[in-house]
Amino acid sequence: MWQETALIAGEEVRTGDQVEIEDPSTGEVFATTPDCGPAEIDRAVAAARQASVAWRRTAVADRAAVLRRLATLIIRDRERLGSLESRQTGKPLAQGLRDADLTARYFDFYASAVETFYGSTVPLNDGNFVFTQWEPHGVTAHVIPWNYPMQILGRSIAPALAVGNGTVLKPAEEAPMTALALARLALEAGLPAGLFNVVTGMGETAGAALTAHPGTDHISFTGSVEVGRIIGAAAAQRIVPVTMELGGKSPNIVFADADLDRAVPVIVNSIIQMGGQTCSAGSRLLVQRAVHDEVVARVAKLFTEITIGPALEDPQLGPLISGPQRARVMSYVERGTGDGTIVTGGQALQGGRYGNGFFVQPTLIDGVDPRSPLGQEEVFGPVLVVSGFDDLDDAVEVANGTDYGLVAGVWTRDVTTAHRMLTEIDAGQVFVNTYGASGGVELPFGGVKNSGHGREKGAEGLRGFARLKTGVIAR
């Protein structure tokens, strides 16, 4: 049994209570981590505060050099980190390795971006010299989910450190292992102790204590809408800024003129990646009726060819994160048969090569009423629901007809259709004839409506973890 520790002020920290970590591919407990509480959170926030005083005064080039060294160390250890990510989350090994590469890319990107993160001068009048400058918040709190522990750590911790903050990270209790590994690599890279603290444990203990802590100056949260509301309320009580990336019910919208050879494989990948357990999963397929039958037949064929198995065997589709998550997904499938017709899939997989892992077949459900629970709610599994539309106006209405607005994909050869859809779809990212883009490190990411607010990734990520000050000097 692997017995992990939290990492606070550069020191390994243990607690009496432990949280068990399951391997989703087998259902077996392979590690434990401390269940941190208010005492550990106090210690971590104090360490981040103390370390940030000198860090914010450190030359930008020197901060950037540390982040670049960390990126190099992540690439050095990518095999270990990638396989550990796959084991704790159930994602196929190739996806775990890619996550390691992208995490390194975040630290490298923000090392460069912060070196050109300038303020500006304002030509007010001849009597005053006016300028703006970006400053760190102080201590930033980061609460991340279990589906992309390394990537989401990279996209929030890297910019927060780059602009001079001290950080405290609470990883998901289901998948904290790579966060701890990365924090130790940060120390090896030369990051001063206390700047990157990892407090493990349950959301209702460690997470709640961190987000309500009076010593934090900014909160970054990625997770469910329900928990986002709780964290948003905690931030409001203390009047601190919060960036929230929450759920999604993202559509791929296929017009009759689309290149289906190009579209269908991308559509399939957008719902099976990480087992569909991602906020940006393309979980709705909206198809113009003229090509509906052909699109459904093509997607169904690819679904039946998907390889399924344990994460480290690198199939196309691994297990879901846990037994409760599998039960949740299956409850939607079982309820959803009244809303549509299961074309393929629809079964949990157990026994034989699946053992006690948490596997579900990729499931395609056609004829789903866009207003039904299956058409509205985030399933968070490899379940793709299909609805038809008549024309562009109908497509816009259905696409925008949920409480979410994170990502959308549009498939058309018509440039006018593409421009109109880009303008009228209510989402933080809209892709045309693609879905996602090479990890999107440079692309500002975030949602509208119940998908959250604020932006991470790209240059906007730096602005999210800094505050703007205006200076005026009379001549």
Helix or strand or coil: residue 24? coil
Q: How far is CA 54 from the centre of its chain?
A: 30
Residue 196's identity, in one-letter code, is F
Catalytic residues: 170, 245, 279, 378
Strands (E), 367-417: 383-389, 404-405, 407-411
Q: Which residues does 429 contact at the CB level (< 8 Å), separation at least 6?
A: 280, 406, 407, 408, 440, 443, 445
- CA dihedral sign of residues 309, 307, 362, 279: positive
Question: Distance between CA 275 and CA 92 in Å, rounded?
Answer: 9
Helices 177-188 and 149-162: angle between axes, nearest 10 degrees: 40
Q: Which residues does 403 contact at the CB level (< 8 Å), separation at least 6?
A: 249, 376, 449, 450
Q: How far is CA 195 from CA 35, 55, 149, 155, in A?
A: 21, 8, 19, 16
Question: Distance between CA 254 and CA 292 in Å, rounded?
Answer: 9
